[in-house]
Amino acid sequence: MKKKILLGILAGIGVFVAAGGIFVVNFLRGFDQIRLQHTKEVISPLKRKLDFSPYESELSKISDSRMEELNNLIFEKSIDEIQNSIRNGQLSCQEVVLYYISRIKEYDHKYNTVIQLNPKALEYAKSLDEKIKNGEEVGELFGVVVLIKDNISDKDMNTSAGAYALKDVKTKRDSFIVKKIKNQDGIILGKNNLSEWANFMSMPSSNGFSVLGGQTKNAYGKFDVGGSSSGSASSESLNFASVTLGSETAGSMIHPAGQNSVIGLKPTVGLLSRDLVIPISEAQDTVGIMGRNVSDVKKVFEHVVGFDSNDPLTVEATKFVFNDINFNNKYLQGKRLGIIDDGSSEKKALVEELKKLGAIIVNVELVGNQSEINYMPVLNYGIVHDVKAYLDNEAVITDIHSLNEVLDFNNEEPEKRMPYGAALHEDALKAELSKEEYEEIVQNNRKVASEIIDKTLEKFDVDALVSVSNELSAVYAPALYPAITVPSGYRENGEPYGVTFVGTKFDDMNLLSISYSYEVGTKHRVTPKVEK
């Protein structure tokens, strides 16, 4: 009975538990995400309204003709292109911010990708323009406008994970990764909506729904938006920012990125700090980066990796080497790539493309037993203990300090505050697991999962594994290994999907290079037609 209850509950992380162990699914088709997100959409009466007032005065000064010029200079353009336009005086940082704000204001009421705007973004942009005007040195991310998932803390905004109980939570300082971006003169524009509590709250759940943010929609139409970094993926595809940050426990970035035809990098865990990020489980959570091209993702990635004393696992960042892999369209030539051929049309097309680009495709089977990976105890422990650690952090300003208090708060108005219920939270609070038992399970999961990937790579002598969407998340996630997804096409009904490359520990630069070669060799991304 317990296994039936667990069937499908890991909506946000792309795996399910069944009699044979942990298996990958095509994201909860059984729960009918299309129905939940579209035909039976829950309209939250507690949805936070976006505040455009800090921008209204400056927006009103931009003429229609100038906005058209800005569109030509910014829409679908790379970071390098926009920075060059700023350098040569065609653009200002203020205009880049106002352009993205104008798009959010005009279109986001249909998509619910943004949950809060940064009231100080224009202030940051103005100070940056002054530095440029005065000939002062600026950071490598100057003019890069970033939206961050609403479980990542920025002192200028609330951090809620989409939960009404946390609507007033603020922090005394920025999270480490936000600080890294600001230190390079990147501009944080606001917060992205997400599947509430990173989709580890209810069963069933609607990908992309939170009480504070409403229901995020797919940029391409009535398709599953994916979860839990739904807002980060959809807003990136809709050109609401230069890049976005999401987070992943297992599939939470890779799946929505593929569903919205953008790049999604889930790095080796430990390279990007989780400091002041509301967790599911510190055992395998990571922040990740989404962009409309691989070069942009790489540029941001290179400036956010680093050791953070607030996140001991980032000692791994001190061992990471940014090797001199040159991005070029020939990188795939001679690369041996392993694929589990399931006979799908997507896999068939993918194999043909990769061969045309010079890759050697090897049919593989995963070496090892995935059923030995024990997910639920790790997630149950994390959502209780790791969430409490976040709420108890001296930098966090809140009156709520435990998952129990969150549940008690929600139960005061359950229909409004948790319309899908909180079955996963309730189960987690009932779970009995000592810290020692938890740590033993975590270490076993890491050992089993990493050996599956490493032994498969070794046995078949391949440079990386190739998959569609998040089908390998049940393995790469507990291994703490990197994955990156790239737009790979559109199904007959127009639904996007991505190819995902998976490697071993610290293989991030190799995967980025493979992805770049595939991206420029196929050019699959098509800009979504935006509804007003």
Determine the Cα–Cα distance for residues 471 and 23; give it in Å rounded to an integer.
9
pLDDT in tens, 217-245: 999 999 999 999 999 999 999 999 999 99
pLDDT in tens, 62-102: 999 999 999 999 999 999 999 999 999 999 999 999 999 99
Query: Cβ distance 442 to 386 under 8 Å?
Result: no
Q: Cα 71 to the chain's mean position, in Å?
A: 26
Mean pLDDT of the chain: 94
Q: Is the pLDDT of residue 395 over 60?
A: yes
Q: In the prediction, which pLDDT does 468 show?
A: 97
Residues, the chain: 532
Beta-carbon contacts of residue 89 (< 8 Å; ≥ 6 apart): none
Mean pLDDT value of segment 321-340 = 90
Amino acid found at 65: S
Q: Is 152 exposed, middle or buried (0-12, 13-18, 19+ CB in 10 A)?
A: buried
**CATH class as words, domain 2-522:** alpha beta
Q: In the prediction, which pLDDT does 11 show?
A: 38
Q: In the prediction, which pLDDT does 31 show?
A: 58
Q: In the prediction, which pLDDT does 324 show?
A: 66
Give the active site residues. Answer: 149, 228, 252
Question: Residue 280's closest CA among 149, 394, 449?
Answer: 149
Helix (H, G, I), strand (E, B) or coil at 296: helix
pLDDT in tens, 480-521: 999 999 999 999 999 999 999 999 999 999 999 999 999 999
Q: Is the pLDDT of residue 19 over 50?
A: no
Q: In the prediction, which pLDDT does 531 show?
A: 79
Q: In the prediction, which pLDDT does 323 show?
A: 83
Q: Is the pLDDT of residue 261 over 80?
A: yes
Mean pLDDT value of segment 318-342 = 91
Mean pLDDT value of segment 250-258 = 97
Mean pLDDT value of segment 301-308 = 98
**Half-sphere CA count of 160, side-chain side, radius 13 A:** 25
Q: 41 — phi, psi (to 5°)?
A: -55, 135
Q: Which residue has the higher pLDDT, 18 or 107?
A: 107
Mean pLDDT value of segment 336-347 = 96
Q: Is the pLDDT of residue 253 over 50?
A: yes
Beta-carbon contacts of residue 18 (< 8 Å; ≥ 6 apart): 3, 7
Peptide bond into 204 cis (omega under 30): yes
Determine the Cα–Cα distance for residues 3 and 102; give it in Å rounded to an integer.
48
- How many Cβ atoms sit within 10 Å of the Cβ of residue 29? 11
Q: In the prediction, which pLDDT does 476 show?
A: 98
Domain boundaries of the chain, sorted by first residue? 2-522
The conformation of residue 491, written as its DSSP 8-state character, comes to -
Q: Is the pLDDT of residue 180 over 80?
A: yes
Q: How confident is the model at residue 326 (pLDDT cuts 50, 70, 90)?
A: confident
Q: How confident is the model at residue 302 (pLDDT cuts 50, 70, 90)?
A: very high
Which letter, b or e, does each residue of 31-49 get, where b requires 16 or more Cβ atoms within 10 Å of its Cβ? bebeebbbeeeeebeebbe
Q: Is the pLDDT of residue 21 over 60?
A: no
Q: In the prediction, which pLDDT does 327 show?
A: 85
Q: In the prediction, which pLDDT does 200 show?
A: 98
Helix (H, G, I), strand (E, B) or coil at 11: helix
